[in-house]
Amino acid sequence: MAMPVLKPERKKQLAAFQKTAGFKFKSLELLNLSFMHRSVSNETGCRVNNERLEFLGDSIIGAACATLLYRQYSDKTEGELAKIKSVAVSEEVFSSIARALQLDTMLLLGRGEELSGGRTKKAILADTLEALVGALYLDSGFKNAFAFISRCLIPEIDRVTENNYHRDYKSLLQELCQHHYRIYPQYRLVKRSGPDHDHMFWMEVSVNGAAYGPGTGHNKKSAEQEAARIAYQAITEPATPPV
């Protein structure tokens, strides 16, 4: 498979990324390929893109996550492990990890995908993480790929189990705000109703001047989680512009 020749500027960018990610590729071309979205090949006529690496990486991450869960939770049943895995190995989690690794800055996109906000799309970010793992496996073997996956997934698995197999949207939103806006989300109680034994809370969250929610719950914590979910999904899943 013929891969594009790397320019010096791109080589420097890839070298800097490796330092941040904590690994070193023998083949920079393979690493670069993991970031090449199909929109590039569609527009340029170049046949290579990261879809085959994505296919490979998906299976490797699944096997690594299953191994981590099997080792870490000897007291849990197959059904419980499957629930944790279904949340940990998901587009939402992968896209969050991808943003933390700044894969959005490394992506190679076609002009059309770039203009449509491809760097912020969760599906593209998640697919790129899978492609990166596939490339790392081919370049350095399963041991190194497993070590990288473990660093990325163990904190996510811990969050999932701590929140009864659900995503911790407050943590996700806080990470997103710090990464993009260098601020913390602000929560506000909108109203409270109901008798003492059955309160209902309405919470709103403000992010970068915009208010989201309200989220509702029988306590402030659950209402804040719901408000955070509304805000996180609104920010990471912008409405598709009209054609």
pLDDT in tens, 160-207: 887 665 667 888 888 889 888 889 999 999 999 988 777 899 999 999
Tell me the C-alpha to C-alpha distance, in Å, between residue 73 and each of 61, 89, 225.
Answer: 18, 16, 26
**pTM flag (> 0.75):** no
Mean pLDDT of the chain, nearest integer: 89
By the 8 A CB rule, do 212 and 170 touch? no
Tell me the C-alpha to C-alpha distance, in Å, between residue 120 and each of 95, 125, 128.
Answer: 9, 7, 12
3-state DSSP assignment of residue 187: strand
How many domains, the chain?
Answer: 2
pLDDT at residue 66 tops 90: yes
pLDDT at residue 30 tops 90: yes
When pLDDT is cut at 50, 70 and 90, the band that residue 242 belongs to is: very low
Percent of the chain with pLDDT over 70: 93
pLDDT number for residue 4:
74
pLDDT (mean) for 114-142:
94
Which domain does 71 fall in, by range? Answer: 10-167
Q: Are 60 and 149 in a shared domain?
A: yes
Q: Are 174 and 96 in a shared domain?
A: no
Q: Are 225 and 176 in a shared domain?
A: yes
Phi-psi region of 145 (alpha: psi -120 to 50; beta: other; left: phi over 0): alpha
pLDDT number for residue 163:
66
pLDDT (mean) for 34-49:
84
Q: Are 61 and 163 in a shared domain?
A: yes
End-to-end CA distance of the chain: 36
Q: Are 121 and 218 in a shared domain?
A: no
Q: Are 120 and 147 in a shared domain?
A: yes
So which residues are the catalytic ones? Answer: 58, 130
Q: Are 109 and 145 in a shared domain?
A: yes
When pLDDT is cut at 50, 70 and 90, the band that residue 240 belongs to is: very low
Q: Is 100 within the bounds of a domain?
A: yes
Please list, in sequence order, all residues whose beta carbon lies within 8 angstroms of the beta carbon of residue 64, skipping any fewer than 6 positions away. 145, 146, 149, 150, 153
Q: H or E stretch including 64?
A: helix 51-72
